[in-house]
Amino acid sequence: MKIRRITTTVEEVHSEGGRPVDPPARVAVVAAVIDNPWAGAGFVEDLAPGIEEVAPELGALLAPRVVEALGAPVEAYGKAAIVGLDGEVEHGSALIHTLRFGDHLRKATGAGTLLPAVEKRAPAGATFDIPLKHITDATIRSHHQTTEARVPDAPRPGEIVVALAVSAQGRPQARLAPLGSEL
């Protein structure tokens, strides 16, 4: 795996809806810009060798960094990939939709639910809206949220940006009824 860049962003929301958020709502995102292991190779039928080579190492790198950056117990999480224009969306999916990647964050957080994801192909500077859900119960509505992330000069055509996002709480000022209560 060739890494060009790693970015870390931590956001704190101190006010929402004109009211203070106490304690401030924290969200952290760590993104790695890597060479796409399949770019330029034409159509690759079997992605498994590249997955085995890259996904476990990438998960092991990003998971502890994002948990440490948050600086608080993780309550919600998500993952994302943006593939540069010389790749396929499937290349990003191959790296993030494997237990060899996601289990690093599940183990680091004590999570048991499916890790929500987004992936796309885009030019450098594209943003992703990373979905987050509660780490142990995906039906907890307050934790259904999204955070925006971007690496200004990535992905270049032969790169992939892979990111993990975590939050220390649900949405600031969440007040929707429990999921299914309106039925």
Dihedral sign, Cα of residue 93, residue 94, residue 100, residue 104? negative
What is the pLDDT at residue 143? 95
Count of domains in the chain? 1
What is the pLDDT at residue 40? 86
What is the pLDDT at residue 180? 74
**Phi-psi region at 142: left, alpha or beta (left = phi > 0; alpha = psi -120 to 50):** alpha
| Count of C-beta atoms within a 10 Å radius of residue 91 | 24
* pLDDT 10s digits, 137-169: 988 999 999 999 999 999 999 999 999 999 999
* pLDDT 10s digits, 17-59: 999 999 999 999 999 999 999 998 889 999 999 999 999 999 9
Q: Is residue 77 part of a domain?
A: yes
Quote the CA–CA distance of 144 and 132 in Å, as a whole number: 6
* pLDDT 10s digits, 96-110: 999 999 999 999 999
Q: Is residue 158 part of a domain?
A: yes
Decide if pLDDT at 182 tops 80.
no
Q: Is residue 176 part of a domain?
A: no
Quote the CA–CA distance of 61 and 94 in Å, as a whole number: 17
Quote the CA–CA distance of 27 and 70 in Å, as a whole number: 6
Q: What is the CATH number of the domain that holds 19?
A: 3.30.1330.110
Q: Is residue 177 part of a domain?
A: no
Tell me which residue range forms the domain holding 38. Answer: 3-167
Q: Is residue 155 part of a domain?
A: yes
Q: Is 0.85 topped by the overall pTM?
A: yes
Are 32 and 82 in contact by the 8 Å Cβ rule? The answer is no
What is the pLDDT at residue 122? 98
Are 166 and 31 in contact by the 8 Å Cβ rule? The answer is no
Quote the CA–CA distance of 81 and 157 in Å, as a whole number: 14
Are 154 and 4 in contact by the 8 Å Cβ rule? The answer is yes
Q: Is residue 181 part of a domain?
A: no
Q: Is residue 95 part of a domain?
A: yes
Q: Is residue 175 part of a domain?
A: no
